[in-house]
Amino acid sequence: MDVLGVDACGKQGWMGIGLTDGTYAGSLVDVRLETLIERAAEVHTIAVDMPLGLVEKGWRAADLVARALLGVRRSSVFLIAPRPAWLEPDYRAAAGRCQELTGNRLSRQAWALRPKLLEARACWLADERIHEVHPEVSFHALAGGVPLAHAKKTWRGQNLRRSLLAEAGLVLPDELGEADRVPADDVLDAAVAAWSAHRIALGTADRVPEVPEPDAEGRLVEIRY
């Protein structure tokens, strides 16, 4: 595998799609992201569908720009609270802290990301190969900058996304091995994350925002695609 695209997949943990020279090379599923990355061995670039960089105050510019870009699919991008909110012990405290730092409360949907967000962030801070991606931003690019008309959990939406990947040279086989037990929308998200990882490795990937904010730990708060 040259690159790896990774998506969180509920109780199963994490799943990855590997590419070699831009074509499908296999799938991995593991309960821990760190272990999944270790199993992928010497990949050049890893793209993870999870917020990684955090700001200290206000909403992340990456999320605001991505939402504006996606049009009808804008709700797929959660507004991610500043770093101090994620350090709170429970949702009530986090929502209050978010209100102080942004003027609005943290949504429960976003708070549900906390365990995997913190897990992925720890990996990101320890490994410069890891980059943040968002599947709908990547699919938007694959579709020529046109927001996708159908949601990813619908039959038409999944067929559209698989077709876009195939047109880009990433053909997903009917039998995926480890990922056979993973929901189809998670497979598609991991696959388009791998497509973005390949672009990052080639040096042809784009980002939002154009001028990223700094994370407290010195890395950039950005979504690559």
Instruction: Establish how many alpha carbons lie within 13 A of residue 11's alpha carbon, considering only the half-sphere containing its beta carbon.
Output: 1
Name the stretches of the chain with pLDDT < 50. Answer: none
How many Cβ atoms are within 10 Å of 21's Cβ, its own excluded? 9
Asked whether residue 159 is assigned to any structural domain, the reply reads: yes
For the chain, the domain total comes to: 1
CB neighbour list of residue 31: distance below 8 Å, 6 or more residues apart: 12, 13, 14
Asked whether residue 100 is assigned to any structural domain, the reply reads: no
Asked whether residue 105 is assigned to any structural domain, the reply reads: no
Torsion of CA 116, 118, 121, 122, to 10 degrees: -110
The CA distance from 163 to 55, in Å, is 36
Q: Which pLDDT does position 207 carry in this prediction? A: 98
Asked whether residue 186 is assigned to any structural domain, the reply reads: yes
Asked whether residue 59 is assigned to any structural domain, the reply reads: no
Give residue 197's domain range: 3-51+126-207
Q: Which pLDDT does position 147 carry in this prediction? A: 86
pLDDT in tens, 148-171: 999 999 999 999 999 999 999 999
Nearest to 217 by CA among 128, 129, 110, 134: 128
Query: Three-state SS for 52?
Result: coil
Instruction: Establish how many alpha carbons lie within 13 A of residue 203's alpha carbon, considering only the half-sphere containing its beta carbon.
Output: 0
Nearest to 17 by CA among 38, 36, 42: 36
Helix (H) or strand (E) holding 207: strand 207-214
Angle ∠(175,9,159) on CA atoms, nearest 5? 50
Q: Which pLDDT does position 118 carry in this prediction? A: 98
Buried b (16+ CB within 10 A) or exposed e, 83-117: bbbbebeebeebbebbeebbeebbeeebbebbebb
Asked whether residue 143 is assigned to any structural domain, the reply reads: yes
pLDDT in tens, 115-132: 999 999 999 999 999 999
